Structure 1
Amino acid sequence: MTMVTVEPFLPRHAAAVDLAAWCAVFSDGYRDSSGSTVPQSALAERLLAEEPPAMRWAARAGSGDAVSGVAQLRSQPHQPGTGFLRLFVAPSTRRNGIGSALLFEAMRTADEAGMDRLQSTVLAGATGESFARTVPGLRVVLRLELQEQRLDQEWVLARCRELVARRPSAYRLVHWIGPAPEQLAASFGRVMGHVLDAPGAALQMSSRTWDTAAVRAWEATMITGGEQLLVSAAVHSASGEVVAATVATVPASGGPVADQHDTAVLPEHRRQGLARWIKAEQAIRFHEHFPGVRAVVSTVNQENLPMTAVNRLLGYRPLSGRLLVEAPVVAGHAGP
């Protein structure tokens, strides 16, 4: 009987074959759980450049076998004592104790690092949820919905063009690919500071100061793996400042699936239809600048009813449910 082996995974010291296998398992698992595609080459580039590196492990079904299970643990800066775990096992080697062995190592390391809780996202109703629910003390923190907007369906683009044409008075549309224009960076940052106003957002990200330097640092992290950053925004005509913005990234390959990240509107400019206006504009810009993008995916808290309503109007449709789960760190936990 073969024994599962788990070892720390250090990308810069890993053999090329192991780095490729680790990235393949992670990329496939991430795609299945989030709907987004992380190209293996881009992921490898990101891991090799990362400073400081996250805690990672590689698992094999037996000594000398290929890497078939991966895990990554990061501390959550906005929640002291909490770590965020991603754990994926190749379908062909599941139910052989690989996931349990990886979880044991993650729990042990989290305990040594002084963490008292681990969080993760799992696909609702799938094997990942069944595995997660075997962890003692597990609770569901947020119920999320993965949504998809199909840009290869003409009615979606027609709807977006119609909405863009309904220009709210006192505003103008702008968009950029890459860094924000210097004259808009500061006000764009102020808008991004209000991403935390969305229901449940504080459970997923930390509060930060969004000055121009912070905007530039954030932009750099968004394109680490070669992704292209697309921002559509509403500018208040009288002040010349950004008052609403929506952010997305396109894979380095130019498609086929883009990620819709954050949308925010300054409180004093809400209820003007700006969110649907800028997101409709974004879909059109995708179509114009990135013809290889056939779909846009977004994850929305099910309690965020206003954003869900906006997305449905723009042609987004639900794909699957995801759960943000949390469990106490239990030293010596051996997994299911």
Structure 2
Amino acid sequence: MLEIKPLDLDDTASLRAYADVRIAAHPESSRERIIASLREPNPDFREVFRLVARRDGEGAGITSAGVLSGPNAQLAIGSITVHPRYRRQGIGTALLDALLPELRARGCETFESWGVARDSTGEHWAVARGFQVVASRVRQRLTISEAVLTTTGPDGYRVERWIGAAPEHLLSSVAATRQSIHDAPATASAAQLPEWTPEVVRAEEAVARAAGVEHRVVVAVEEATGRVVALTDVPLHPSDTTDTNWGSTMVSPAHRGRGISRVIQAHMLQWLRAERPELERIDTSTDAANFAMIRVNEQLGFTTARQTVVVSRSC
């Protein structure tokens, strides 16, 4: 008999079933890291809702959906995973049917999954259940010890870095540089980019700080103006022991094509090597149409781990 219930973080059997499904689908996963990540707050979402499907007490499938805030308050992002032993038995559909009413009750209008392997059984399953493919992405991976670190950049710029809050004298140009992400390749995803102002930057910093995230930022400052013109960041969560994910990288339009992005990313990797030597790998996800950023990542030593799609449907 199939039983679907919300994940109870105080229930050992529920946690074990959830972790069993994750490990069966992703054997490289660590049970300890999975459980630790479930317990830590995620600053990306105002709420994370999870379901566990069990058959005869064994973990058969899971779903996790994070509800966004601000301009994306009506959007949830997540995934549905079925244990390989229980696939093709309707468990994924049962989880989706149980999840959607919960998302509607939380004010969501759209549910998206951002890491579905392209041309996979998962993509075909999603399309058959009302999802549409709204974007394509490239997931790249780097072994940090093997990174190609070219930290010498063009004249007229200096590199600065910090953990947590941006220095007050750079705050306005940090916001302006973050705003330049708006001219990234467009997709049909329901996700809306925030309008970056100094107040929004400070609010995002506060949310990350409250969640225990070590937010590392490297920027390029134009010497002539003293303004930030390029920025890259890596948010390190408490459960990021050997693996982590890159945050974002952006360069103001007037300063593109000069190799600045590669320089600040190389500085970030050098910093991580020096101060977080336990980190072994870092992943980054880039829109498939952003050829320039994919090429920069390759120059740093990233290799393509897989091609993915974003699928979206109404709740």
Q: Deviations over 1:289-330 (max 9, x none)?
A: 11112222100111011111111111111001111012345x
Alignment of 1:196-207 (within 5 A): 196-200=182-186, 203=189, 205-207=191-193
Relative distance call for 1:220 and 1:31 in structure 2 (3 A) is farther
| Structure 2 counterpart of 1:334 | none
Identify the match of residue 88 of structure 1 among 62, 81, 90. Answer: 81
Identify the match of residue 41 of structure 1 among 36, 40, 49. Answer: 36
Task: State whether residues 21 and 68 of structure 1, in contact with CA within 8 Å, keep that contact through their aligned partners in structure 2.
Answer: no
Relative distance call for 1:239 and 1:303 in structure 2 (3 A) is same
1:133: how far off?
A: 3.0
Task: State whether residues 234 and 245 of structure 1, in contact with CA within 8 Å, keep that contact through their aligned partners in structure 2.
Answer: yes
Q: How many residues align?
A: 312
Distance across 1 between alignment mates of 2:202 and 2:270: 25
Q: Deviations over 1:63-97 (max 9, x none)?
A: x5557423325367546865434222333443333
Alignment of 1:120-159 (within 5 A): 120-121=113-114, 122-136=116-130, 138-153=131-146, 156=147, 159=148
Corresponding residue SS for 1:164: coil
1:147: how far off?
A: 0.3
Which runs of 5 or more structure 2 residues have no equivalent in the other structure? none
1:172: how far off?
A: 0.1
Amino acid at match of 2:151: V
More displaced stretch, 89-98 vs 299-308:
89-98
Task: State whether residues 173 and 278 of structure 1, in contact with CA within 8 Å, keep that contact through their aligned partners in structure 2.
Answer: yes
Task: State whether residues 25 and 89 of structure 1, in contact with CA within 8 Å, keep that contact through their aligned partners in structure 2.
Answer: no
Corresponding residue SS for 1:210: coil
Q: Deviations over 1:8-55 (max 9, x none)?
A: 45x5xx533256347636865996899xx96421331327x9985344
| Structure 2 counterpart of 1:266 | 252
Identity of aligned residues (%): 25
Distance across 1 between alignment mates of 2:85 and 2:212: 30
| Structure 1 counterpart of 2:229 | 243
Alignment of 1:185-204 (within 5 A): 185-200=171-186, 203=189
Identify the match of residue 302 of structure 1 among 288, 301, 307. Answer: 288
Alignment of 1:6-45 (within 5 A): 6-9=4-7, 15-17=10-12, 20-21=15-16, 24=19, 28=23, 39-45=34-40
Identify the match of residue 275 of structure 1 among 261, 265, 286. Answer: 261
Distance across 1 between alignment mates of 2:184 and 2:192: 13
Which runs of 5 or more structure 1 residues have no equivalent in the other structure? 330-336
Task: State whether residues 139 and 327 of structure 1, in contact with CA within 8 Å, keep that contact through their aligned partners in structure 2.
Answer: yes
| Structure 1 counterpart of 2:218 | 232
Task: State whether residues 261 and 296 of structure 2, in contact with CA within 8 Å, keep that contact through their aligned partners in structure 1.
Answer: yes
Distance across 2 between alignment mates of 1:234 and 1:123: 34
1:98: how far off?
A: 2.1
Distance across 2 between alignment mates of 1:38 and 1:310: 30
Identify the match of residue 201 of structure 2 among 207, 210, 215. Answer: 215
For the aligned residues, what is the CA RMSD?
Answer: 3.4
Relative distance call for 1:276 and 1:285 in structure 2 (3 A) is same
1:203: how far off?
A: 3.4
Q: Report the TM-score, using the length of structure 1 for normalisation.
A: 0.78
Distance across 1 between alignment mates of 2:27 and 2:289: 23
1:116: how far off?
A: 5.3
Distance across 2 between alignment mates of 1:20 and 1:220: 30
Corresponding residue SS for 2:225: coil
Corresponding residue SS for 1:152: helix
1:220: how far off?
A: 3.6
Distance across 1 between alignment mates of 2:158 and 2:145: 27
Corresponding residue SS for 1:46: coil
Alignment of 1:53-92 (within 5 A): 53-62=47-56, 65=58, 68-72=61-65, 74=67, 78=71, 82-92=75-85
